[in-house]
């Protein structure tokens, strides 16, 4: 060893061994070293030692050729010595072990080492061992991460009641995750016993769904498209479950579908909740229908007694003739006024009950002509109060024309009614299309496009705490002596808007006017 480059070169008198070491260096990117069993010194080590662990051969020489003095703790060195002892005494071809080695930068690297006898004496007694050490740090880290991911996947499957599967179309083999067994209502053992391949998987299906599953899967294979389906299975205890299956075909480099992969989720409870909710909705609709029918019938039936009372008062006036009695006149006048109010209430109730009761067909409704007609109806009131009405170009919506007229007539009429005597009324109507994000935020159906319409006035306003109460039937925030009305107008507006699937909101402060915002389906 005259120079550093000559350090730990195998002795030249053994050309056969030198040739073997050269081949190992050529074939494997691993650390190769030869150890003298008598002196326990390293007599050969390749350049991978420096490349993988950062030490130079001079570092090894400085420690007297004792590799363990650099790389191994005493306990690890003793473990290695025990494995080499096992190699020699049991005459094994090789021994293998994994150990952490200390890099020169003080980080630990994991190596897998195989040790074999390299050279023996004439009697066959081992003189030297050869070790090949492979750096498996990265692969071990990747394996550890894989195990962690698998554990996370298992926990997720368990928490959300789903499982994963893979079907080999060539062999029919079906590979399942642990979550799938739980979803199917079987243990791993019973499922594997009864479901060795995809064909036997059908023994778990409700036979009513066999054709659906076969057809859907075959279509996915033929079209190379993902698929989704629901089917029923029977658990080990005989319980029926509803499962949602999502899968997709895997295509090889030749364009052939070789596998199907996917997941399966237990949606039994979801379907049960949906069924219960659907039943409750049907019961509520039936109850509402009966209530509306009662309101309609009751309102209709009340018309006749009112007509009779009104007729009796008229006859009474005729009988009295010229006989003047101020008290009687006052009673009759007040009775007729009460009859008129009652008739207005009944008419309003009839209109309210007809919103959902009558099967009027929806159509495209231009809102501009409707607003123009309503303003003509209110022209005397507008002129009397000097009201200013401003509106943008309003859109076309999809609804029932007569109900749209009732909606805008009530809202505009309210703004003209509840005015501030200290200033002329100003009513502003604006409209805008809603984005998909806005539709979702407002809880509207994303299957339709929507417009938002705002009606703002500068009237007397109301306390914000009443912004929901004002939409209730017969709710009045002001006395009848101040403002006429039935207390049904805004309830009718709410019912019309909600009948179209929309929403209506009110916002106000006393003395600052009121703003009504409502959403209707767009005709676009």
User: What percentage of the chain has pLDDT greater than the value 70?
Assistant: 82
**pLDDT tens string 364-406:** 999 999 999 989 988 888 999 999 999 889 999 998 888 898 8
Residue 464: pLDDT band with limits 50, 70, 90: confident
- The pLDDT, as a whole number, for residue 56 is 87
- The pLDDT, as a whole number, for residue 350 is 65
- The pLDDT, as a whole number, for residue 482 is 46
Please determine, for residue 105, whether its predicted confidence score (pLDDT) is greater than 70: yes
Lowest mean pLDDT among 72-81, 144-153, 460-469, 496-505: 72-81
Please determine, for residue 476, whether its predicted confidence score (pLDDT) is greater than 50: yes
Q: What is the mean pLDDT of residues 112-127?
A: 88
**pLDDT tens string 2-22:** 334 446 677 777 788 888 888
> In sequence order, which residues have a C-beta less than 8 Å from that of residue 315 and are 6 or more positions away?
none
**Residue among 470, 450, 459, 467 at smallest CA distance from 397:** 450
Residue 475: pLDDT band with limits 50, 70, 90: low
**Residue among 153, 159, 247, 158 at smallest CA distance from 198:** 247
Lowest mean pLDDT among 21-35, 202-216, 283-297: 283-297
Q: What is the mean pLDDT of residues 451-461?
A: 93
**Residue among 495, 515, 453 at smallest CA distance from 348:** 495
In this structure, are strands 504-508 and 426-433 parallel, antiparallel, or unpaired?
A: unpaired
In this structure, are strands 450-457 and 426-433 parallel, antiparallel, or unpaired?
A: antiparallel
Dihedral (Cα; 106, 110, 112, 118), 10-degree rounding:
0
Helix or strand or coil: residue 168? strand
User: What percentage of the chain has pLDDT greater than the value 90?
Assistant: 19
Residue 306: pLDDT band with limits 50, 70, 90: confident
Burial 325-358 (b: 16+ CB within 10 A, else e): eeeeeeebeeeeeebeebeebbebbbbbbbbbee
Please give the domain boundaries of the chain with CATH numbers for all domains: 4-135 (3.30.450.20), 151-266 (3.30.450.20), 281-359 (1.10.287), 361-521 (3.30.565.10)
- The pLDDT, as a whole number, for residue 480 is 47
Q: Read out DSSP for 381-431?
A: HHHHHT-EEEE----EEEE-HHHHHHHHHHHHHHHHHS--TTS--EEEEEE
- The pLDDT, as a whole number, for residue 333 is 77
Are 87 and 115 a contacting pair, CB within 8 Å?
A: yes
Cα–Cα–Cα angle for 513, 473, 487, rounded to 5 degrees: 55
- The pLDDT, as a whole number, for residue 426 is 93
- The pLDDT, as a whole number, for residue 367 is 95
Please determine, for residue 450, whether its predicted confidence score (pLDDT) is greater than 90: yes
Lowest mean pLDDT among 276-285, 303-312, 430-439: 303-312
In this structure, are strands 257-266 and 363-366 parallel, antiparallel, or unpaired?
A: unpaired
**Residue among 399, 378, 396, 400 at smallest CA distance from 387:** 378
- The pLDDT, as a whole number, for residue 407 is 92
Residue 294: pLDDT band with limits 50, 70, 90: low
Element containing residue 471 per DSSP (H, E): none
Report the alpha-carbon distance of residue 149 to residue 164 in Å, rounded: 14
Instruction: Name the most confidently modeled range: 61-75, 185-199, 403-417.
Output: 403-417
Q: What is the mean pLDDT of residues 29-35?
A: 89
Report the alpha-carbon distance of residue 451 to residue 523 in Å, rounded: 9
Please determine, for residue 473, whether its predicted confidence score (pLDDT) is greater than 80: no
Can you read off the two tokens belonging to residue 378? 């209110």
Instruction: Name the most confidently modeled range: 65-69, 279-283, 348-352, 353-357.
Output: 279-283
**pLDDT tens string 327-338:** 777 777 777 777
Please determine, for residue 211, whether its predicted confidence score (pLDDT) is greater than 80: yes
**Residue among 294, 292, 312, 290 at smallest CA distance from 302:** 294
Can you read off the two tokens belonging to residue 428? 């502003």
Q: What is the mean pLDDT of residues 158-163?
A: 73
> In sequence order, which residues have a C-beta less than 8 Å from that of residue 424 and are 6 or more positions away?
385, 386, 387, 388
Q: What is the mean pLDDT of residues 499-505?
A: 92
**pLDDT tens string 174-197:** 787 877 777 777 666 666 655 555
- The pLDDT, as a whole number, for residue 161 is 72
- The pLDDT, as a whole number, for residue 481 is 42
Residue 497: pLDDT band with limits 50, 70, 90: very high
**C-alpha of 491 from chain center:** 35
Can you read off the two tokens belonging to residue 245? 């299956």
Are 73 and 55 a contacting pair, CB within 8 Å?
A: no
Of residues 158 and 505, more confidently modeled: 505
Of residues 215 and 185, more confidently modeled: 215
Cα–Cα–Cα angle for 346, 347, 353, rounded to 5 degrees: 85
Q: What is the mean pLDDT of residues 486-506?
A: 86
The backbone torsions φ and ψ at residue 466, rounded to the nearest 5 degrees and listed phi first, read -100, 10
> In sequence order, which residues have a C-beta less than 8 Å from that of residue 25 and are 6 or more positions away?
32, 46, 48
- The pLDDT, as a whole number, for residue 408 is 94
Lowest mean pLDDT among 48-52, 210-214, 329-333: 329-333
Q: How far is CA 455 from CA 81, 365, 403, in A?
A: 91, 18, 17
Report the alpha-carbon distance of residue 237 to residue 38 in Å, rounded: 69
């Amino acid at each position: 060893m005259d120079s550093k480059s000559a350090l730990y070169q195998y002795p030249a008198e053994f050309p056969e061994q030198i040739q073997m070491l050269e081949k190992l260096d050529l074939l494997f990117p691993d650390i190769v070293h030869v150890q003298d069993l008598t002196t326990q010194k390293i007599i050969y080590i390749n350049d991978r030692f420096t490349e993988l662990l950062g030490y130079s051969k001079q570092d090894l020489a400085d420690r007297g050729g004792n590799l363990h003095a650099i790389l191994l703790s005493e306990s690890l060195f003793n473990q290695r010595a025990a494995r080499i002892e096992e190699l020699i005494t049991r005459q094994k071809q090789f021994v293998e072990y994994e150990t952490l080695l200390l890099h020169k930068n003080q980080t630990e690297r994991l190596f897998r080492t195989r040790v074999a006898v390299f050279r023996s004496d004439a009697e066959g007694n081992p003189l030297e061992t050869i070790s090949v050490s492979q750096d498996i740090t990265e692969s071990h880290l990747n394996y550890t991460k894989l195990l962690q991911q698998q554990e996370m996947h298992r926990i997720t499957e368990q928490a959300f009641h789903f499982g994963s599967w893979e079907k080999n179309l060539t062999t029919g083999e079906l590979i399942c995750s642990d979550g799938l067994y739980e979803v199917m209502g079987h243990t791993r053992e019973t499922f594997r016993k009864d479901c060795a391949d995809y064909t036997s998987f059908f023994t778990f299906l409700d036979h009513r769904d066999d054709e659906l599953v076969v057809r859907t899967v075959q279509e996915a294979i033929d079209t190379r498209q993902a698929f989704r389906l629901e089917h029923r299975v029977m658990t080990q205890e005989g319980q029926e479950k509803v499962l949602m299956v999502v899968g997709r075909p895997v295509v090889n480099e030749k364009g052939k579908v070789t596998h199907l992969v996917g997941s399966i989720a237990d949606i039994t409870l979801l379907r049960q909740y949906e069924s219960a909710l659907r039943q409750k909705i049907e019961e509520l609709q039936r109850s509402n229908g009966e209530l509306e029918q009662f309101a309609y019938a009751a309102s209709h039936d009340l018309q006749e007694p009112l007509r009779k009372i009104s007729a009796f008062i008229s006859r009474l006036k005729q009988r009295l003739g010229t006989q003047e009695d101020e008290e009687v006149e006052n009673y009759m006048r007040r009775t007729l006024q009460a009859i008129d109010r009652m008739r207005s209430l009944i008419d309003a109730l009839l209109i309210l009950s007809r919103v959902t009761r009558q099967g009027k067909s929806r159509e495209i409704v231009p809102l501009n002509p409707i607003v123009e007609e309503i303003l003509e109806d209110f022209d005397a009131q507008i002129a009397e109060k000097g009201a200013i009405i401003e509106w943008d170009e309003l859109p076309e919506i999809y609804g029932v024309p007569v109900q749209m007229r009732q909606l805008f007539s009530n809202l505009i009429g309210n703004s003209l009614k509840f005015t501030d005597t200290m200033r002329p009324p100003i009513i502003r109507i604006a409209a805008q299309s809603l984005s998909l994000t806005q539709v979702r935020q407002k809880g509207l159906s994303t299957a339709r496009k929507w417009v938002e319409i705002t009606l703002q006035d500068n009237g007397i306003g109301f306390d914000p705490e009443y912004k929901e109460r004002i939409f209730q039937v017969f709710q009045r925030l002001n006395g009848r002596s101040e403002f006429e009305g039935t207390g049904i107008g805004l309830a009718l507006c709410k019912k019309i808007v909600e009948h179209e699937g929309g929403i209506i909101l009110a916002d106000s402060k006393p003395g600052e006017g009121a703003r009504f915002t409502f959403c209707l389906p767009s005709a676009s």
